[in-house]
Chains A and B, each alone.
Chain A
Amino acid sequence: MATKASAYLSMVERAQGSHAGEPAWLRDLRGSALAEFRRAGFPTTRHEDWRFTNVAPIGDTPFVEPPPAEVSPDEVARVLVPGVAGPVLVFVDGRFAGKLSTPAPPSGGVTLRPLADALLERPAVLEAHLGRYATVADRPFAALNTASFEDGAIVEVADAAVVEGAIQVVFLSTVTPAPAVSHPRVLVLLGRHSQARVVETFAGLGPTRGLTNAVSEFVLDEGAWLDHVRLQREPGSAFHVGRAQFHVGRAARVSSTALALGGLIARLDTVAVLAGEGADATLNGLYLADGVRLVDNHTDIDHAVPHGTSRQLYKGILDGRARGVFNGRVRVRPDAQKTDARQTNKTLLLSDDAQVNTKPQLEIFADDVKCTHGATVGQLSAEALFYLRARGIGEQDARAMLVRAFAADVTGRIGLDPLRADIDRRLASMLPGGRVAEVVA
């Protein structure tokens, strides 16, 4: 295993030099992350969490550090969600691009800092939170990120603040001569009873073949409310590994929608720890793949204390020879009584050769709980298709209508109106028709 990691190891070790000026706690954090990655290396399909997702192509690619790149404000504007007010943080190939970013207004209750500034201005806060949730044990990609991240965004929302519009964090990958790797890092801290929307967008500015290895940590203090959308629409040639980690405090609520639309291999781990009583997490997702692409969603909800609620709806649309993976882990700890957890996964297969591996993973150690899960895999309904056609709607239009309707179940729940409209538009141009269920047995 470790052999494939060796190229990475030397790259990370070289980078340690540039981390020399960092505070001791951070150097320790990176040091143990590096040790963990050195120990574990890249996962193989023998690893239970990676059974269906072979990352050998990632291990085999000699990624380089991205050379500095110039990106124009126009290119950024094309990626932003139109019509959304609020601050924008732009990263290019993992590096913070201050000139392309829009700062938060001073009175809005939200502060955005690139990592370097936060280390100077908010050292104690950073030390208390960074890397404390997205821990690295047995998470090789998170370990690689923690050991390597060059830059990051630190977002703080003040107690009781209600953020206007949305905070947008944009990660752009440029086309590089050789495939490049970036390790974007985000930490969002929501104060008590604060409210904010955060949109993370991952996009490529062309047919990139690099690896984006992202980690985002969200910490919700008591009564906080977070509406989060993660829009991953990198090109179909790119590799994407991501982790979204939510730490949900007492009576806090997070609602997150993960849209995995791009990537040759795209893996996302979404983890919510319901750490305070009455915490509420809604994790929804939509994944799309065609060609020979692979999209893997692993969710993990940890009901650590009583009276937690979690809802999950993941839907996938797979065409060509694409493969999908959904693994939904729900843990209910022994004293997490009155937990209410629901999980649904539905996949639409548009071709005979597309396939999905779906697995609920319920680990319930409390007795007074409600936990349900369900998974379906299907094709377009022949009945519905005939109904539409019998009204004069052409076959391709009818198929597209049904596929979009399937996706709308997830996208329709996105709270931010302009974002929902933007995503619907994007999907309309992406979604194919596909095959139909045989009705005759």
Chain B
Amino acid sequence: MLEIRNLHARVGDKEILKGIDLRVDAGEVHAVMGPNGSGKSTLAGVLAGRPEYVVTEGSVVYRGRNLLDLQPEERAREGIFLAFQYPVEIPGVNNLYFLKAALNAVRAHRGEPELDAIEFTALVRSKMSLLGMDQELLSRPVNDGFSGGEKKRNEIFQMAVLEPALAILDETDSGLDIDALKVVAGGVNALRSPDRAAVVVTHYQRLLNYIVPDQVHVLSDGRIVRSGGRGLALELEEKGYGWLAGAEDNEPARDSRLEARA
């Protein structure tokens, strides 16, 4: 579904991604972990088409197409969804109005008819109850004055309505209470299917108890320095990232122990 090869990207003069290779097949969930500033959001942003990131080298193929040729809205219509680490407040734009415009843009692209007000309301109702989303929040402007947790929940709600093929969740679990965490995980798991995939950026292996990943990757200084199974997340939880710095060269012993556990 997604094949990233030797991806380099910069912001301004600063190189942030320094050669990422990652392959995500349909039906899989990949977790991406790594220290603050390592480039996780940059990777997510590059995939979603954030304009300020400039790709200098490498390629990204999504469902057989060169993803980097597409505008952000085209990527979204092709089924890519980025749950933002910091969802944007948009005063004056009503949540449901916005979501309807988004859904109908995606549907039009798929050659499906627009949903009318009644069909849209029915869809919203069903997704709301699935995610325990508050009606009052939806009638407000997009994320305007939402608490941190409410914003994250709104991201997952949008995802549930848009039903993307490839969901990229950037720290959607940060700042969530345990109930909300389960809701978010439930939203992702509800979308799990053989023809969909997800990339989940997180700092906490706790989320991975609920969204069980097929693979875990550790990003450090713009590179994936380690990939493994679920056990890698547990290892990180215990030891932090320090031991991984230049791990391949310096700490073969720990490396092999890790392989054994995974």
Residues on A lying within 8 angstroms of B by beta carbon are: 381-384, 386-395, 397-398, 401-402, 404-406, 408-409, 412, 439-441
Q: Is B93 within 8 A of A440, CB to CB?
A: no
Q: When A393-B105, A405-B92 are in contact, do A387 and B51 touch as well, CB less than 8 Å?
A: no
Task: Indicate if B46 sits at the interface (CB-CB under 8 A).
Answer: no
Q: Is B73 within 8 A of A389, CB to CB?
A: yes
Q: Is B92 within 8 A of A392, CB to CB?
A: no
Q: Is B84 within 8 A of A391, CB to CB?
A: no
Q: Is A392 within 8 A of B90, CB to CB?
A: no
Task: Indicate if B12 sits at the interface (CB-CB under 8 A).
Answer: yes
Q: When A391-B98, A391-B158, A397-B101 are in contact, do A386 and B72 touch as well, CB less than 8 Å?
A: yes
Query: What would be 17 A-B contacts, judged by CB atoms less than 8 Å apart?
Result: A382-B52, A383-B88, A386-B88, A388-B98, A389-B72, A389-B76, A392-B77, A392-B103, A392-B162, A393-B101, A394-B73, A397-B105, A405-B91, A405-B92, A405-B93, A409-B91, A409-B92
- The 8 Å CB contact of A392, one of B73, B88, B142, is B73
Q: For residue B54, which residue of chain A has the nearest CB? A: A440
Measured between beta carbons, the chain B residues less than 8 angstroms from A389 are 49, 71-73, 76
- The 8 Å CB contact of B76, one of A391, A406, A439, is A391
Q: For residue B161, which residue of chain A has the nearest CB? A: A391
Give the CA-CA distance A29 to B144 in the complex, in Å: 53
Task: Report the 5 A-B pairs with minimum CB-CB distance, sorted nearest first.
Answer: A405-B92, A392-B76, A391-B102, A387-B88, A389-B72
From B75, B102, B158, residue with most partner A Cβ within 10 Å: B102
Give the CA-CA distance A439 to B45 in the complex, in Å: 14
Measured between beta carbons, the chain B residues less than 8 angstroms from A392 are 73, 76-77, 102-103, 105-106, 109, 162
Tell me the dominant secondary structure on chain B's binding face: mixed
Give the CA-CA distance A389 to B98 in the complex, in Å: 11
Q: For residue B141, which residue of chain A has the nearest CB? A: A405
Give the CA-CA distance A210 to B88 in the complex, in Å: 46
Query: Shortest distance in angstroms between A272's beta carbon and chain B's nearest beta carbon?
Result: 26
Q: Is A384 within 8 A of B158, CB to CB?
A: no
Give the CA-CA distance A388 to B158 in the complex, in Å: 12
Q: Which residues of chain B from 148 to 188 have any CB-CB distance to chain A below 8 Å in the complex? A: 158, 162
Q: For residue A391, which residue of chain B has the nearest CB? A: B102
Give the CA-CA distance A405 to B131 in the complex, in Å: 28
Measured between beta carbons, the chain B residues less than 8 angstroms from A383 are 88
Measured between beta carbons, the chain B residues less than 8 angstroms from A440 are 11-12, 52
Query: Shortest distance in angstroms between A396's beta carbon and chain B's nearest beta carbon?
Result: 10
Measured between beta carbons, the chain A residues less than 8 angstroms from B12 are 440-441
Q: Is A391 within 8 A of B71, CB to CB?
A: no
Q: When A395-B71, A405-B90 are in contact, do A390 and B49 touch as well, CB less than 8 Å?
A: yes
Q: Which residues of chain B from 59 to 108 have any CB-CB distance to chain A below 8 Å in the complex? A: 71-73, 75-77, 81-82, 84, 87-93, 98-99, 101-103, 105-106
Give the CA-CA distance A261 to B224 in the complex, in Å: 55
Measured between beta carbons, the chain A residues less than 8 angstroms from B206 are none
Q: For residue B75, which residue of chain A has the nearest CB? A: A390
Q: Is B93 within 8 A of A402, CB to CB?
A: yes
- The 8 Å CB contact of A395, one of B73, B88, B101, is B73
Query: Shortest distance in angstroms between B115's beta carbon and chain A's nearest beta carbon?
Result: 14
Q: When A395-B73, A405-B90, A405-B91 are in contact, do A386 and B98 touch as well, CB less than 8 Å?
A: no
Q: For residue A412, which residue of chain B has the nearest CB? A: B92
Give the CA-CA distance A404 to B72 in the complex, in Å: 22
Further pairs besides A390-B81, A409-B92: 7, Cβ < 8 Å: A384-B90, A386-B50, A387-B87, A389-B72, A395-B71, A406-B92, A439-B52
Task: Indicate if B48 sits at the interface (CB-CB under 8 A).
Answer: yes
Measured between beta carbons, the chain B residues less than 8 angstroms from A405 are 90-93, 141
- The 8 Å CB contact of A390, one of B76, B90, B92, B99, is B76
Measured between beta carbons, the chain A residues less than 8 angstroms from B51 are 382, 386
Query: Shortest distance in angstroms between B137's beta carbon and chain A's nearest beta carbon?
Result: 17
Query: Shortest distance in angstroms between B259's beta carbon and chain A's nearest beta carbon?
Result: 37
